[in-house]
Amino acid sequence: MNYSIHFREIDAAFIARVVLGVLFFLQGFDKVFRLGLKQVFQTVHAPLAAKGIPAFVSHIGVCFTSYVELIGGAFLIIGFLKYYCLCLLGFDLLFAVIIFGIIEPVWDMKHIFPRVALLLFLLIIPAQWDILSIDHLWSLNQFIKSTF
């Protein structure tokens, strides 16, 4: 019985991490390679400029969110530097909430809320649940090296 519960925890951590990674990776891939950063900037900056936000804020925001989503999402999928990625992606979500809140105070959170829920879940679960990852293999390798 105990093994069954443990395997479900491992499965839950793995599925949540990979799903969140795929969501962010595809969003970042779309921004960087399909639409292009210039197009994303033009789309985001127009409503922000009307609210008095300077262009450099939009530019920094577009670059930050696009590359954090692309690289952080890819790293989450394989489980590499998980906590750093989760923190950066958390700031990415916070930035998106602020920007969308400036553009339109009442907006649909259907794309943000599931990501926040998965991100918070991954931040609060014990590290022992997420063993199907590069981080776990790395820590296991370090333990073996230090033991022998």
Q: Where are the domains of the chain?
A: 2-147
User: What average pLDDT does range 43-56 have in this prediction?
Assistant: 93
Phi-psi region of 81 (alpha: psi -120 to 50; beta: other; left: phi over 0): left
Q: What is the pLDDT of residue 1?
A: 46
Which stretch of 8-17, 53-62, 70-79, 100-109 has the lowest confidence by average pLDDT? 100-109
Q: Which residue matches tokens 């989760």?
A: 86
114-146 tens-digit pLDDT: 999 999 999 999 999 999 999 999 887 776 777
